[in-house]
Amino acid sequence: MLTLQINGKSVEVDVDPDTPLLWVLRDVLGMTGTKYGCGTAECGVCTVHVDGRPVRSCSLPVGLIGPRKAIITIEGLQADPVAAAVRKAWLDIDVVQCGYCQPGQIMAAIALLKKIPNPTDEQIEAGMSGNLCRCGTYMRIRAAIRNVAAAQGATP
């Protein structure tokens, strides 16, 4: 049995320690908001937060995480004001198309904006270029992140 902290709750899972976090989330715990795209940390659709940092869950064996690291998934953002602002910007700008990569994009954007509340365009690209989107929603993701930054900057 391995103990993990997922979205504020302590969870016990009975899997081999080499099992990537992604498949524990999706197939053991039934949390399918985090997606599978490449299995090799190249596309970012599986992005979750571990202690606030964006991590590719497809390439993170659960045995390496330990019981005290805080894992946050797309399902665990209810009380997070940055997440709310990011989602609102995504809705305002109609970012999504097929939507498959968007949970990963949103997790990456939240992590970026928490680290750098008012990122430059270069910082947005550095923070987001690990996340692929085949529908080509990049223009709107950029715009949505700029919107969040502007709104946060306007709030004292």
Partner 1 sequence: MTSKRISSPALRRRQVLGGAGAFVLAAILPAGRSRGAGMLVEDATASFAPNAYIRIGSDNIVTMILPNIEMGQGIYTSSVMLMAEELGIDPQSVRIEAAPPGGGAEITGGSTSSMTEWMPLRQAGAAARTMLQQAAAARWSCAPGACVAQDGYILGPTGQRLSYGELAADAANLPVPKDVVLKTPAQFRLIGRPMHRLDSQVKVDGQAMFGIDVQVPGQKVGAVAACPVIGGHVGHVDTQAALKIRGVVAVLQIDDAVCVVADHYWAARKGLAALDVQWVEGPNATVDTQAIYRQLEGGLSSSAILADHHGDAQQAITQAHGRYSATYRQPLLAHATMEPINCTIHVRPDGCDIWTGTQVAERARDTTAEVTGLPKDRIRLHSQYIGGGFGRRLEHEYVTQAARFGRQVSHPLKIIWSREEDITRDRFRPAYLDHLEAGLDERGYITGLTHRIVGPAVVARWEPSGLGANGYDDDLSVGTVITPYTYPAYRLEFARREPPGVITAWWRGVGGTRGLFVVEGFIDELAQRAGVDPVAYRREMVRNNPRALAVLERVARESGWGTPLPPNCGRGVALQFAFGSYLATVAEIEMAGPHDVRIRRVTCAVDCGQVINPDQIAAQIEGGLIFGFSAALYNEITLEKGRVQQDNFHTWRVMRMNEAPGRIDVHLIESTESPGGIGETGTAAAAPALANAMAAVQKRRYRFLPLLSPLNQPSGHEKEQQG
Please choose, out of 3-11, 63-71, 97-105, 110-118, the segment that lies near partner 1 by the rule CB under 8 A. 97-105
Q: Does 95 bind partner 1 (CB under 8 A)?
A: yes
Among 136, 154, 155, 156, binds partner 1 (CB under 8 A): 136
Q: Does 57 bind partner 1 (CB under 8 A)?
A: no
Of 5 and 128, nearer to partner 1 (C-beta) is 128
Of 68 and 144, nearer to partner 1 (C-beta) is 144
- The number of residues that bind partner 1 (CB under 8 A) is 56
**Residue 21 CB-density burial (10 A; 0-12 exposed, 13-18 middle, 19+ buried):** buried
- Output the smallest distance, CB 58 to partner 1, in A: 10
Q: Does 51 bind partner 1 (CB under 8 A)?
A: no
DSSP 8-state symbol, 101: T
Which of 52, 48, 26 is CA-nearest to residue 103? Answer: 48
Q: Does 87 bind partner 1 (CB under 8 A)?
A: yes
CA distance 23 to 13: 11
Of 2 and 75, nearer to partner 1 (C-beta) is 75
Please choose, out of 3-11, 63-71, 111-119, 140-148, the segment that lies near partner 1 by the rule CB under 8 A. 140-148
CA distances from 108 to 47, 63, 73, 87, 122 (A): 7, 23, 11, 12, 15
Among 9, 12, 40, 154, binds partner 1 (CB under 8 A): 40
CA distance 31 to 25: 5
Q: Does 4 bind partner 1 (CB under 8 A)?
A: no
* Number of Cα atoms under 13 Å in the Cβ half of residue 17: 8
Bridge partners for 88 per DSSP: none
